[in-house]
């Protein structure tokens, strides 16, 4: 699980009652506190449902050698040993000079 800009955007939406109801309004601050608690609850739920990175095994299968002017193929095997479905982005980090075309792939691996 990683905090993204979506979390920040949700928190920023909670500022709207302060602007609409005025700075000194107790109702605005109560609404803001409730909003922050709701966002914290959503983050905690996401964390509880996320797959553990410790339960993921990665293995790269490569040919013996690949020369710069030749095409080659590598395989990145991702195994989920956990009890929750893994959803994420896998990045195969080749050197830029290797000319790899696709370095990031979205994955969904059931438990």
Enumerate the domain spans of the chain.
Answer: 5-49, 53-109
| pTM of the model as a whole | 0.66
Assign 23 a pLDDT band (cuts: 50, 70, 90).
low
Assign 83 a pLDDT band (cuts: 50, 70, 90).
very high
Rg (CA), the chain: 22
The answer to whether residues 79 and 108 touch, using CB atoms and an 8 Å cutoff, is no
For residues 26, 30, 32, 36, the Cα torsion angle rounded to the nearest 10 degrees is 150
Print the SS3 string covering the chain. Answer: CCCCHHHHHHHHHCCHHHHHHCCCCHHHHHHHHHHHHHHHHHHHHHHHHCCCHHHEEEEEECCCCCCCCCCCCCEEEEEECCCCCEEEEEECCCCHHHCCCCCEEEEEECC
Q: Which pLDDT tens digit goes with each residue over 85-110?
A: 999 888 877 777 777 777 788 999 99
């Amino acid at each position: 699980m990683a905090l993204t800009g979506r979390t920040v955007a949700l928190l920023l939406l909670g500022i709207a009652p302060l602007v609409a109801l005025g700075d000194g309004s107790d109702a605005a601050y109560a609404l803001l506190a409730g909003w922050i608690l709701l966002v914290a609850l959503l983050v905690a739920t996401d964390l509880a449902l996320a797959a553990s990175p410790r339960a993921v095994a990665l293995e790269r299968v490569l040919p013996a050698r690949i020369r710069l002017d030749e095409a080659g193929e590598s395989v990145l095997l991702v195994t989920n040993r956990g009890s929750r479905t893994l959803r994420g982005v896998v990045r195969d980090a080749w050197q830029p000079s290797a000319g790899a075309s696709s370095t990031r792939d979205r994955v969904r691996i059931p438990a």
